[in-house]
Amino acid sequence: MHIFGGPGKRKTRKPADPAWKKFMSEADLEEERVHDRQALSIADIGLPVRIVNTMEAQDIYSVGDLANCTMTRLLAIPNLGEITIKRCVELLDELKIPHKLRET
């Protein structure tokens, strides 16, 4: 029996880094990484659909939008509780994105 496909056959979504990137400083590479991650949709970072829909109704569409929110703004959104906000903080920490959710 021969199995076609599988993890070895999958194509990667991210193209290889261009040759000029090796000349960038570590700070510039980190800045570009943060910028790329902030452009991600909140639907793509692992939040449940209910939470994504609630946040999009409040004009929070990207990881950057979420990182710029304060704790008081998120607590004021209906259907977002402390557990959900804690999960958002964990996701932003996993992505290593600076955010305002630790501030009071």
Predicted local distance difference test score (pLDDT) of residue 1 = 45
Tally: H helices and E strands in the chain: 5, 0
Task: Please state which architecture CATH assigns to domain 25-94.
Answer: Orthogonal Bundle (1.10)
Q: Which of 93, 34, 99 lies closest to 73 in space, CA to CA?
A: 99
More confident residue, 65 or 7: 65
Instruction: Summarize pLDDT for 31-80 with one digit per residue, the tens.
Output: 988 888 899 899 888 888 999 999 999 999 999 999 999 999 999 999 88
Would you kindly state where each structural domain of the chain is located, as residue ranges?
25-94
Cα–Cα distance between 10 and 14 in angstroms, integer?
Answer: 12
Angle at 28 between CA 24 and CA 29, to 5 degrees: 75
pTM > 0.75: yes or no: no
Q: Where are the beta strands (DSSP E) in the chain?
A: none
Averaged pLDDT for residues 15-35: 83
pLDDT band at 7 (very low <50, low <70, confident <90, very high): low
